[in-house]
Amino acid sequence: MREIGTAFVAGVMAMWISLPAQAAGGGTAPPAHQWSYSGLFGTFDRAQLRRGFEVYKGVCVACHGLRLVAYRNLQDIGFSENEVKAIAAEIEVPAEPNDDGEIEDRPGLPSDRFKSPFPNENAARAANNGALPPDLSLIVKARAGGADYIYALMTGYKDAPANLKVPEGMNYNEYFAGKMIAMVAPLADDGIEYSDGTKATVKQQAEDVTAFLAWAAEPELEERKRMGVKVILFLLLLTGLLYVVKRRIWANVH
């Protein structure tokens, strides 16, 4: 048993070694926020994801793409097939060449990926004072602090301290690396209207859109955790049995 103990400690140590602080790069560390999907058993809140999509579609889509997510994926968060078809059909994408070899536009299909607002990086920068609004498909995984950071950023716009001069076209946000961000505060109270009647405060919208982006970054999260619980239970049982077998087989050695 003593050896198991030490082996265990060594394992924990090794995990702990792997913990080197991910240098946040200048912004204030975001406070921890409670998410419905955190923890071993947490799941997404469908109604919230739906509202989050409404925020994305109503606000962020003007500047940010979501190019890795397909419209059909929305069915996973509770949109019906017809709703998805209608949402997809709102965009226009280049079709396959027709019989005359011309490329025309066609309405979007559920199998299409979200259409980005700008055709290329230069166009995006030209429209945003030279700043590049990043694609948001993976943003929650691509920032230290994850969802907590995105939420803090959305709700973190404040007046700059008196001694700080904010350059033209920049905004003060203490959570952003360098504290000066080119994005204007995107959310405003009642900036959009929720279809389920929820009051659209800045906090509410920020929380909803962050949850939506967390889903966009990790659409497998629920399946992963559900499978994880089963796998761990199975392994605990198997390992327990193996331990018993091991004891019995070794009984005549000690």
Partner 1 sequence: MVQFHKPAWLENSLVRWVDHRLPIFSFMSHELYEYPTPRNLNYWWNFGSLAGIVLVIMIVTGIALAMHYTPHTSLAFDSVERIMRDVNYGWLIRYIHMNGASFFFIVVYIHIFRGLYFGSYKAPREILWMLGVVILLLMMATAFMGYVLPWGQMSFWGATVITNLFSAIPWGIGDWVVTLLWGGFAVDNPTLNRFFSLHYLLPFVIVGVVVMHIWALHVHGSNNPVGIDTKGDQDVIPFHPYYTVKDMFGLGVFLIFFALFIFFAPNYMGHPDNYIPANSLSTPAHIVPEWYFLPFYAILRAVPDNFIGGWTTEWLGFIIFEAKLAGVLAMFGAIAVLFVLPWLDRSPVRSSRFRPMYKWFFWIFAIDCVVLGYMGALPAEGIYVVISRVATVYYFAHFLVVIPLLAKFEKTKELPKSISEPVLGGGGGGASAAPAKPMEKA
Query: Minimum CB separation from ligand HEC for residue 93, in Å?
Result: 22
Letters for 184-223 (x = contact with ligand HEC by CB under 6 A, - = none) are --xx---------------------x--------------
> Cβ distance 85 to 56 under 8 Å?
no
Regarding 77 and contact with ligand HEC (CB under 6 A), the answer is no
Q: Which amino acid is at 181?
A: I
Report residue 227 as tokens.
Answer: 């499978």
Gap between the Cα atoms of 3 and 103, Å rounded: 70
Query: Minimum CB separation from partner 1 for residue 202, in Å?
Result: 25
State the residues that interact with partner 1 by CB under 8 A: 3-4, 6-7, 10-11, 13-15, 17-18, 20-23, 25-26, 40, 68, 73, 134, 137-138, 141-144, 146, 177, 217, 219-220, 224-225, 227-229, 231-232, 235-236, 238-239, 242-243, 245-246, 249-250, 252-253
**Three-state secondary structure call for residue 205:** helix
* Half-sphere exposure of residue 68: CA atoms within 13 angstroms, side-chain side: 12
Strand ranges in 108-209 using DSSP code E only, listed in sequence order: 171-172, 180-181
Beta carbon nearer to partner 1, 29 or 188: 29
User: Which residue(s) pair with 157 in the sheet?
Assistant: 173
User: Given candidates 109, 182, 202, 221, which one binds ligand HEC under the rule CB under 6 A?
Assistant: 182
Residue 246 neighbours by CB distance under 10 Å: 10
How big is the site for ligand HEC, counted in residues (CB under 6 A)? 22
Beta carbon nearer to partner 1, 188 or 238: 238
Query: Minimum CB separation from partner 1 for residue 110, in Å?
Result: 14
Gap between the Cα atoms of 56 and 64, Å rounded: 9
65 binds, among ligand HEC, partner 1, none (CB under 5 to 8 A by kind): none
Supply the DSSP symbol for 43: -
Buried b (16+ CB within 10 A) or exposed e, 109-137: ebebbbbbbbeeeeebeeebeeeebebbb
User: Given candidates 49, 63, 66, 84, which one binds ligand HEC under the rule CB under 6 A?
Assistant: 63
Residues that bind ligand HEC (CB under 6 A): 55, 59-60, 62-64, 128, 131, 133-134, 139, 143, 150, 153-154, 176, 181-183, 186-187, 209
